[in-house]
Amino acid sequence: MSDIKTYKDLLIWQKGILLVKVVYNNIEGFPKDEVFGLTSQIKRSAVSIPSNIAEGWGRGSTLSYLHFLKIARGSLFELETQLIIANELSFISELKFNELTQIITEESKMLNAFIKSLSK
């Protein structure tokens, strides 16, 4: 972990940024009346993931960082739930949903492993 000088070097942050980009690119076709509903919630949840990883890094203590990593994980689960709802309502194609779910699963595993390693 000696090569990590900033939160931007963390793979969990990089994967979080990728997830934000994929989310934004894949929800453009949602119904216009969802702009201030589900679309807004999905964007907020996605942006919250790398943002909390970065904020926790800046707090300067492991305990505080763990707290923000857990918030990021909660936002990830929130995003996953919102995408399941969007899929159930046929706002997103099965292909796009599966792509997003794969990234979410990878990010979840990485976050869980990082939280576990810092908890020791």
Question: pLDDT per position in the chain (120 positions), as tens?
Answer: 457 889 999 999 999 999 999 999 999 889 888 888 999 999 999 999 999 999 999 998 999 999 999 999 999 999 999 999 999 999 999 999 999 999 999 999 999 999 999 998
Burial of 66 (0-12, 13-18, 19+ CB in 10 A): middle
Q: Which CATH number fits domain 7-119: 3.40.47.10, 3.40.640.10, 1.20.1440.60, 3.30.70.100?
A: 1.20.1440.60
SS3 118: helix
Q: What is the pLDDT of residue 2?
A: 58
51-54: Cβ within 8 A, 24+ apart: 53/7, 53/10, 53/12, 53/13, 53/16, 54/7, 54/13
SS3 28: coil
What's the DSSP call for residue 83?
H
* Amino acid (1-letter code) at residue 76: L
Helices (H), 6-90: 11-26, 38-59, 62-88
Do residues 69 and 114 lie in contact, with contact meaning Cβ atoms separated by under 8 Å?
yes
Q: What is the pLDDT of residue 1?
A: 45
| Domain spans of the chain, in order of start | 7-119
